[in-house]
Structure 1
Amino acid sequence: EPAGMAEHARAVVALGEGRPEASLQHLERARAAEYGLLHDYSRLLLGDVNVALGRLPEAAAEYETVAGTLGLSFEDARAHPPLQPVAHERLGRLYLVLGDTAAALGHLAAFVELWRDADPELLPRVQEAQGTLQEILSQRG
């Protein structure tokens, strides 16, 4: 576990420094250290890396695994509740960019529902998603 966590941390730093290719390499090392598995937190990051690399369909696929997973391991089961809404939020935004408004609506609605009782500092994200939902629905007539 420590080797995988260390590589994940390096991947976070690399992406934060604008080096998505290096981040991807660290995530692959994390996967190798974890016997071929990526935990939810690393899959979410892999989605972010794919967005940074312009690989939007691949990013959507990674986010979908986090949004829909029931936890592949004990670690995922502990991490799952806070990560699933974040994956829905990112999928909603990503599907808007990809032009799939039906999928965007579904994911943004799921995000709003999951975070309806969010802590006050997180409410602006929920309100923004609600605004986007209303805007999409008003455009659809």
Structure 2
Amino acid sequence: FYSQDRERYLRAGLLAATGREEEALVWYNGFSEASPYALAYLAPSHLERARIYERRGEREQAARHYPRFVELWSECDPELRPMAQQAQRALVRLSGEPQP
């Protein structure tokens, strides 16, 4: 069995980069906690979904995915913490609260 998670994630990223965000969301939505093979891509897929939704002005959708990413990466490696901090700042921005 070969799930092609890496290829699916890369495809979603390429679609998003070329402006085909609706298609990218379909591919990113394919990652779930039910698949142990997809777990490595689950958190990053939430981050990318949040970014897409935020770009499209869909703040509520973005606000659903940023916290999930932050939760999944709450104990990430030190070199990955800036991404989690970026997502936390995005949540503050979406909530309309002043940033420190």
Question: Which interval holds the TM-score relative to the shorter structure?
Answer: 0.7 to 0.9
Decide which structure has the larger Cα Rg and report it: 1
List gaps (5 residues or longer) in structure 2: none
Aligned partner of 2:68 in structure 1 is 110
Normalized per residue, which structure has more helix? 1
- Highest relative contact order (Cα 8 Å, sep 6+), 1 or 2? 2
Q: CA deviation at 1:114?
A: 0.4
| Cα distance per residue 1:28-66 (max 9 Å; x no partner) | xxxxxx7xxx62211111111111221110011111112
Q: Does 1:70 align with 2:34?
A: yes
Distance, in Å, in 2 between the alignment partners of 1:40 and 1:53 is: 20
Q: 2:9 aligns with which of 44, 67, 72?
A: 44
Q: Percent of aligned pairs with the same residue? A: 30
Please give the TM-score of this superposition, normalised by the length of structure 1: 0.63
Question: Residue 132 of structure 1 aligns to which amino acid in structure 2?
Answer: A
Aligned positions, number:
97
2:33–2:39 contact (8 Å) kept in structure 1: no
Cα RMSD over matched residues?
1.8
Name segments (4+ residues, structure 1) moved above 3 Å. Answer: none
Please give the TM-score of this superposition, normalised by the length of structure 2: 0.87
Distance, in Å, in 2 between the alignment partners of 1:40 and 1:99 is: 28
